[in-house]
Amino acid sequence: MSKKRESKIQKRGLYLLRLLLAFLMAPYLISGTLPSQAATVVEQGVVTREQVASGLNTPIKAPSDTYQLSITITGGGSGTVTDNVISSINCGSGTCLYDLNSITEVNLTANPATDSVFTGWGGACVGTGTCTLTMSEARSVTAAFDVPVEVTDFDLLQSVAPPTWDTVPGDLTDSFTMTLNPTQEWYYLNVANLVANRDLKVGYHPFFVQSVPNQTDWFAFWADKGVTAEADPDTWQSWMWQIINGDQPIFYLKVDDTGGGQSFMLVDGLIKDTSPTHDDTYLRVNGTYLPGKYTFTGTISDKLGTSSQLPVDITFKLVQYQLTVNKDGNGSGTVTSNPPGISCGTGADCQHDFDANTVVTLTATTPTSSSFTGWNGVGCTGTGDCVVTMSTAKTVKATFTLNKYDLSVIITGTGTVSSNPAGIDCGSSCDHDYDYNTIVTLTATPASGWSFFGWSGDLGGTTNSITITIDDDKSVAAVFKQYFVFLPAVRNDPLFVDYFDYTDPNLVFNNWEIVPETGATWFVLNGGFHGKHTVVDRNAKAVAKIYSPRMPASYSVEAKVQLATGSVAGGRGGLLFDYLSTTQTYRFGIVPWSTVGTNWVVQKRLPPPADTWALIASGLDPVHINPGTAVNLLRVERVGTQIRVYANGSLLWSGNDGTYTNGRAGFNIGTPTVLSSGEFVEVIFDDFVIDSLP
């Protein structure tokens, strides 16, 4: 066989072999998978995105068909570029290079970080959407990330007559505080010195009402101006209703660059959106705007189209005026206000700043020491509440006067009463007004032949000089009595008719003792004694009588009487008094007995020759004079011809017996029998008093 023929056969065999291999590889090419041993013998094929994603990025054709994808991250922000199928593509910074097979399709997605925005593709892609490329050649893409547009500061300006502006205190990071005067119809607002991280988009950036101080007050405020849901659609009130609900801009931030740089203006939203010519008028605020803190939130954009939210807090407050309360007078008191702020007493809260047009009610209160005598200033008079409308700074005076109270002195008997401080100096009755809490010393001076008996009413005691505090009206009585000499006389024998006068209070006569307790007095100018005096009968069967002579026509005898424990049964103590009628001498006494069935008796002494005691009345109660029993208050009164006998406040007997001409009064003790050795009768008399009666 010739070599030429042999060459043809070989070529034909090689062709058939190739055809067979192509036939055998066809299913793998269609399914996207290839056995590794076949990859080097395929001349040409198509690599799908799924094959690349599964790791088959080695070209099945010649190595010269691999192309490079370059991704570069740019800008001041941060983010990543990824492919949602080809997981190996994930570029977060700098430049990332990827070798991809020919005809591979990539879909790149830009993922900005939370503090950044994606501003667009560069290179092989444009715009901000998904970047789709077929790797038929080397490709280069840039992804720009930037921080959002941000306004970090500006000055808020106010004016009542533009173009003269004043800076509103505060800043963008906290709050601006603007003071309003209700008398001002309009305030105009603007901005200056705005600082942003890049130029803002030229045009109008809308701001909406986001929060108000109080929803109820907010809608009530506008309702007073006719701004309600029912407002006529053709009126400004209807549009304003949408503004206050946050549905339409309340103002715009206008950005202009016609002057060679950016300028800014706050444009009133109501006027711009409702006027026929859409005028640019400064944002207006009425002087009566509802006070409180507002948040207005706007959407601002830059020239690249990125945007962010900008909250602006503005606190409106009314201008305040100071209300001053001055206190006058020598008294004390407190002035308080409603609404609170003034509490002018002993402290220093006598001034307070109130919002303009606040209606303040001032109330004056006083302690018992003082009286409120009236207002002066700001149109307030009288003693009622003072109502002040704070349209300007105002001052009001409140006068408090120290109360004066009356001290009246009534004098019984003959004598005078004087005072320190001066005011009282009288011999019958007088009075004087003293300031509250004045301490007054009263001094009683008896006339000749009289003695000072004591004070009564709002004072008590027997000392001539005494003090009283004038914290209310006071009434005092000073009692003076005539000078009666009280000399003790002891009669130790019923047949012995004379009476012996002694000046020794500790007398001892025939074993009868009169012993005053420590501090007790025997001689008292008005008669009697104060303090306990114990009279003891040691061995005599007789009646000891002690008298005060020269009694007036009407008088009383009184003492507290107690039979001491250990006294012999039948011992007794009582009060005696004598008086002489025109025909005979009478002696009456209260003689409480210890005999069964009789606790007290009233007797009359029959004159000689009988010279005995005759029983007039007797009873059981209320006198109990048995040894060791309770103290009994005994009293005898004589007024004219009327005789009255009392025990413990109860009238025991009364009667008439002759015409009084002279008499004596005193007390007695007695024994039923002659006492044996060691026996005794002890009667305790306390506060024995002989007193003249009117």
Q: Does residue 55 surpass a pLDDT of 60?
A: no
Q: What is the pLDDT of residue 646?
A: 87
Distance CA 323, CA 318 (A): 15
Highest mean pLDDT among 111-125, 204-218, 587-601, 671-685: 204-218
Q: Does residue 516 surpass a pLDDT of 50?
A: no
Q: Does residue 502 surpass a pLDDT of 70?
A: no
pLDDT in tens, 424-470: 998 888 899 999 999 999 999 988 757 787 899 999 888 899 999 99
Amino acid 26 reads: A
Instruction: State the DSSP code for 530.
Output: B
Q: Which H or E element spans position 655?
A: strand 650-656
611-649 core/surface letters (b: 16 or more CB in 10 A; e: else): eebeeeebbeeebbbbbeeeebbbbbbbeeeebebbbee
Q: What is the mean pLDDT of the chain?
A: 78
Tell me the average pLDDT across 531-545.
42
| Tokens 């008292």 belong to residue | 524
Read off the pLDDT band of 10 (50, 70, 90). low
Amino acid 284 reads: R
Q: Own/partner pairs for 432-435, CB < 8 Å, 24+ apart?
A: 432/406, 432/407, 433/404, 433/405, 433/406, 433/407, 434/404, 434/405, 434/407, 434/470, 435/330, 435/402, 435/403, 435/404, 435/470
Distance CA 458, CA 468 (A): 8
SS3 208: strand
Among candidate residues 386, 402, 683, the one with its CA nearest the CA of residue 562? 683
User: Where is average pLDDT lowest: 352-356, 377-381, 567-571?
Assistant: 567-571
pLDDT in tens, 299-312: 999 887 788 999 99
Among candidate residues 237, 216, 215, the one with its CA nearest the CA of residue 228? 237
SS3 29: helix
Q: Does residue 41 surpass a pLDDT of 70?
A: no
Q: Does residue 619 surpass a pLDDT of 80?
A: no
Q: What is the pLDDT of residue 476?
A: 96
Tell me the average pLDDT across 166-190.
95
In terms of pTM, does the model score above 0.75?
no
Q: Does residue 532 surpass a pLDDT of 60?
A: no
Of all residues in the chain, the percent with pLDDT exceeding 70 is 67
Distance CA 215, CA 306 (A): 33
Q: What is the pLDDT of residue 193?
A: 95
User: Where is average pLDDT lowest: 42-51, 491-500, 612-621, 635-644?
Assistant: 491-500
CB 400 within 8 A of CB 331: yes
Among candidate residues 291, 344, 337, the one with its CA nearest the CA of residue 315? 291
Q: What is the pLDDT of residue 618?
A: 75
Q: What is the pLDDT of residue 226?
A: 96
Q: What is the pLDDT of residue 57?
A: 46
Read off the pLDDT band of 324 (50, 70, 90). very high
pLDDT in tens, 588-600: 555 555 454 556 7
Read off the pLDDT band of 103 (50, 70, 90). confident
Distance CA 325, CA 342 (A): 8
**Which CATH architecture does the domain made up of 49-146 adopt?**
Sandwich (2.60)
Q: Does residue 200 surpass a pLDDT of 70?
A: yes
Q: Does residue 325 surpass a pLDDT of 70?
A: yes
Query: How many other CB atoms are there within 10 angstroms of residue 518's CB atom?
Result: 6
Amino acid 483 reads: Y
Tell me the average pLDDT across 238-250.
97
Classified by CATH at the fold level, domain 404-482 comes out as Ubiquitin-like (UB roll) (3.10.20)
Q: What is the pLDDT of residue 688?
A: 65
Helices within 331-409 (DSSP H only): none
- Does 609 sit behind a cis peptide bond, omega within 30 degrees of 0 on the bond before it? yes
User: Where is average pLDDT lowest: 7-16, 88-97, 189-198, 347-356?
Assistant: 7-16
CATH class of 508-692: mainly beta
Tokens of 487: 């000399």
Pairing of strands 79-83, 105-112: antiparallel
Read off the pLDDT band of 290 (50, 70, 90). very high
Q: What is the pLDDT of residue 326?
A: 94
Q: What is the pLDDT of residue 486?
A: 35
Q: What is the pLDDT of residue 556?
A: 78
Tokens of 588: 């009456």
Read off the pLDDT band of 177 (50, 70, 90). very high
Q: What is the pLDDT of residue 615?
A: 75
Could you list the beta-strand ranges (E) of 275-427.
283-286, 292-301, 307-318, 320-328, 334-338, 343-344, 351-355, 359-365, 370-376, 386-389, 394-402, 404-412, 415-420, 425-426
